A and B are shown apart, each in its own frame.
Chain A
Amino acid sequence: MEMGIAIAFWVLAAVIIGAALAVVLGRNIFRAALFLVLCFFTIAGIFVILSADFLAGVQVLIYVGAIGVLIIFAIMLTRETQRGSPSGRLRLPALIAGLLFLATMVFVIVSTDWQIVAEIPTEPTTSGIAQALFSKEEGFVLPFEIAAALLLAAIIGAIVLVREK
């Protein structure tokens, strides 16, 4: 079991890094988007081996589904994608910003006192999350209904955006 999880982790990690490098280094932006989707999907696999089944499901739904579709649509609606990435002036600032971000992330990863569970949790988490979100006593009923109002605002906003010519 432990061995299998270790193998799965290293395979997934290799695929994630390979896909991420393909996103950055690839010349064709559409292929880069597809590699980004692969990267998101394998991160869902990482969530699975961490026994976070709800996060894995949401990762597939939101990142692979929604964000992947949005990025691919954005590329397909853009006229000048065949020429590749045209930006040349922002290369140095982008490098500096990227390195700063990397340094911040590495610092946070190293300096955080991670809480580690000794045993692998055996119970699925989705039911517990549902109880915490929807139950009558300690649930978040009002925020949940307000989320519906937020989504309603998003729908109406999308309609207004499309109708404006």
Chain B
Amino acid sequence: MLGNFGYIGIFLISALGFAIFMVLIPPILRRSGIVPKKPNPTKSSTYECGMETVGKSWVQFNFRYYFFALLFVIFDIQVVFLYPWAVAFKQLKLFGLLEMLAFFLILVVGFIYAWRKGVLEWK
């Protein structure tokens, strides 16, 4: 089992290495003299083609977003139950399926309520 996680470790290390490598390419190319250093205002602008940015990047976000964070947490906790259920799905047979159906039927009430109240709509 640890061997399988070893593959995940290899994926993680290669993903990290790739990200670091991409960040390091420009300075390496410039230091080694492959890319000449001739800056001009257009080249060093944040967005070469697009709107000029106004103000700071740090803004206070709308409170409405927090509802989606809360919904995400609730879905996440559902997944904690779904994960072992899905792993042992074959051994649990029909009984396990019915259990999970009942679980979801209870939760669907909440989503019908949310739908009827219109909280999922963006005004």
B-binding residues in A (CB < 8 A)? 1, 5, 8, 48-49, 51, 53-54, 56-58, 61-62, 65-66, 69-70, 73-74, 76-79, 81-82, 120-124, 126-127, 129-131, 133-136, 141, 144-145, 147-149, 151-152, 154-156, 158-159, 161-163
Contact = CB atoms under 8 A, between A and B. Distances in A.
Contacts of A69: 69, 72-73
Contact of B91 (A122, A131, A144): A131
A155 B111 contact: yes
A49 B3 CA distance: 10
A131 B92 CA distance: 7
A126 B83 contact: yes
Contact of B1 (A123, A129, A145, A163): A123
Q: Tell me if A's interface is mostly helix, strand, loop or mixed.
A: helix
Interface of B: 1-2, 5, 8-9, 58, 60-61, 63-67, 69-74, 76-81, 83-85, 87-88, 91-92, 95-96, 99, 102-104, 106-107, 109-111, 113-114, 117, 119
